[in-house]
Amino acid sequence: MEAQTKNCQNCKKDFTIEPDDFTFYEKIKVPPPTLCSQCRYIRRLLDRNEWSLYRRKCDFTGENIVSIYRPDAPFPVYKQDIWKSDTWDPLSYGRDFDFSRPFFEQYDEMRRTIPHLALVAFDSVNSEYSNQSQYNKDCYMVSASGSSEKCMYGNWYQDNCYFSADCSILGKSEFCYECMNCWRCSSCRWCEDCFDCVSVSFSSDCHGCINCFGCVGMRNKQYCWFNEQLSKEEYEKRLNSFDGSRNAVAEMFRKKQELIQGLPRKYYHGTKIFSSTGDYIKNIENSRLNFNCNDNKDTAYMQDAGLTTDSLDITEVLTIERCYELQGVATATRCMVLRSSWVMTDCYYCDMSFSLSDCFGCFGLRQKQYCILNKAYAKEEYGFLKAKIIEHMKKTGEWGNYFPEKFSPFGYNESVAQIYFPLTKEEALKKGYTWYDRKEERNYKPTMETGAIPQRIADTPDSITEEVIQCVSQLTEEGKRLHEECTTAFRMTPLELGLYRKLGVPIPSKCFPCRRTDRFALRNPRKLWHRKCNCAGKTSVNTTYINRGSHFHGEARCPNEFDTSYAPDRKEIVYCETCYQQETV
């Protein structure tokens, strides 16, 4: 079958359904989508709240708890140990299917009666403010993180990260601050896309480097300062002259960005991709539009997914095979339209369920089989009723579609959609999304105004942890507009202060939601443009790079083209992988 162009029913833009997509839809017996891949992604993200946390009461015990659901949510919410216990029975909420009504309407009606899990977090110690996480210890305000200790204010801390703060996509690392997409790093500050680095600051795209400052694209280097090779003595002299003040940090960050603009960048972040497109990807094969993905094969329209095969439209998953339209799922096989579930096989339209097989339209179930709308059936009866419901959903136009936006328990600004596709309240409402205005006023009374925050960590007293610090974003209308989720003020924890002192970084002048927004703004968008390689066939005029030989295209411009997350109007010099590797130090 040939590729077909369709018009998205949501954004009204044309999109293409590829031949491989049609093959997959035929295999799982669903109609082609009516929404483009970006609108389908946003629809899944609307169901994902990672960091909008609330204080509310557990509807079973009456205790004050932390939850992703606001106090006025239209369903009961239980704290973790109660929800996972046998003190309540999810099957008691079961009901018969009504063939005179749409499926989604019946499912949402049932879901609103069933207790919800306050936070999707398991087996963690002293990590009350962590969500979509597991196996953590002493962590604070982290999401989508696992097996980490003493980590704060970030997401995707993975594989034994230790004592780090304000990072995103950090793996097997320790003592890191404001780092993104860094693995196996130690004592690194303000770095992106760095691997196997120690004591590296203000650097990007460095591998195997030690004691480097302000470097870009370096490999296995030591004692380099903004890509200039120094002796150990000269490097230490310059490092000691850096006073670590907030103003000095801003200047170093500016210089690093300036250096980045003048050096070639590979068209994607990652390695070992075969017949694939996307960004922040590793070891993927025959996959399209994969973002922050690894070890995938025969996939498309994927985000934050690992170990996935033969699947489409998947967000935030682990170990998935032949699935479609999943969000927040670990270990699933032959499933369609699931959210916040673990270990699922042959399940459809289920949510917040664990260890199920052959279930349809269920919520909150654990270790069950042959259930529909939380009601148990015999195997033969389940198969007959399931087939009948699917035919009914085909007639209503529901079959193959993800849960509708109007049934999301979160407002647009509470969901992760606001991070990747930010909208103002007016824009969101115009598009038909919901918006949540907090009932409580954030009338915090700062005890320390922004101008009084110490410039250097060396000048910061222990008493800073007792202060309510004004967020600098509140000082200008522009700052307020860019950081609509600003908490207006923030406090410092002793653990956080200890990390700043260890790394010699000044305490922040912004609250952590504003810091998160700034950090995500540095990442490329989850969107691709078709471009040509910028390599003109001559040795780089920048002597910090070394041309290791003639390029395959000689003196002519490189003929290679690619799909990249660097938009055509950006200033970066973008190379194909062959040209980039030819010039990397």
Query: Which residues have a Cβ under 8 Å from the Cβ of 443 and sit 6 or more positions away?
Result: none
The answer to whether 110 and 98 are in contact (CB under 8 A) is no
Domain range list for the chain? 4-49+407-430, 276-402, 450-510
The beta-strand segments (E) located in 81-231 are 116-117, 121-122, 130-131, 133-134, 140-143, 149-158, 162-165, 168-171, 174-183, 186-192, 198-201, 210-213, 222-225, 228-229
The answer to whether 191 and 185 are in contact (CB under 8 A) is yes
* Nearest residue to 94 via CA among 75, 79, 107: 107
Distance CA 431, CA 548 (A): 52
Alpha carbon 336 to its chain centroid, in Å, reads 21
Token pair, residue 127, equals 């990590």
Token pair, residue 487, equals 């908490």
The answer to whether 507 and 454 are in contact (CB under 8 A) is yes
Distance CA 510, CA 527 (A): 28
Q: What is the dihedral of CA 548, 552, 557, 563, to 10 degrees?
A: -100
Residue length of the chain: 585
DSSP string, 215-244: -BS-BS-EEEETTEE--HHHHHHHHHH---
Token pair, residue 28, equals 């799982």
* Interstrand relation of 174-183 and 198-201 (parallel, antiparallel or unpaired): unpaired
Alpha carbon 154 to its chain centroid, in Å, reads 10
Token pair, residue 411, equals 């407002």
Backbone angles phi, psi at 280, to 5 degrees: 55, 60
What pairs with residue 78 in β-bridges? 117
Integer CA distances (angstroms), 167 to 162, 193, 490, 513, in order: 12, 12, 18, 12
CA-atom Rg of the chain in angstroms: 25
Distance CA 281, CA 332 (A): 21
Distance CA 162, CA 139 (A): 10
Distance CA 560, CA 583 (A): 16
The answer to whether 520 and 168 are in contact (CB under 8 A) is yes
Q: Which residue has the tokens 């949501």?
A: 10
Within 10 angstroms of residue 544's Cβ, the number of other Cβ atoms is 18
Backbone angles phi, psi at 274, to 5 degrees: -130, 115
The region that residue 313 occupies, defined by phi over 0 for left and psi between -120 and 50 for alpha, beta otherwise, is left
Give the per-residue SS3 of 45-61: HCCCCCCCCEEEECCCC
What was the pLDDT predicted at 546?
43
Half-sphere exposure of 285 (CA within 13 A, CB side): 5
Distance CA 151, CA 159 (A): 12
Backbone angles phi, psi at 313, to 5 degrees: 55, 70
What was the pLDDT predicted at 481?
67
Backbone angles phi, psi at 348, to 5 degrees: -135, 135
The answer to whether 547 and 582 are in contact (CB under 8 A) is yes
In 3-state terms, what secondary structure has residue 276? Answer: coil
Token pair, residue 391, equals 């035919």
Distance CA 139, CA 155 (A): 11
> Taken in order 242, 243, 247, 249, is the CA torsion positive or negative?
positive
The answer to whether 163 and 150 are in contact (CB under 8 A) is yes
What pairs with residue 561 in β-bridges? 532
138-141: list long-range contacts, CB under 8 Å, 24+ apart.
Answer: 138/495, 140/493, 140/495, 140/496, 141/51, 141/512
- Amino acid making up residue 206: C
What number of helices (H) and strands (E) belong to the chain? Answer: 13, 33
What pairs with residue 182 in β-bridges? 170
Distance CA 129, CA 448 (A): 25
Q: What is the pTM of this model?
A: 0.93
Distance CA 82, CA 85 (A): 5
Q: Which alpha helices (DSSP H) does 46-139 contain, by range?
A: 80-83, 103-111
Q: State pLDDT tens for residues 365-398.
A: 999 999 999 999 999 999 999 999 999 999 999 9
Q: Which residues does the chain have with pLDDT short of 50?
A: 540-548
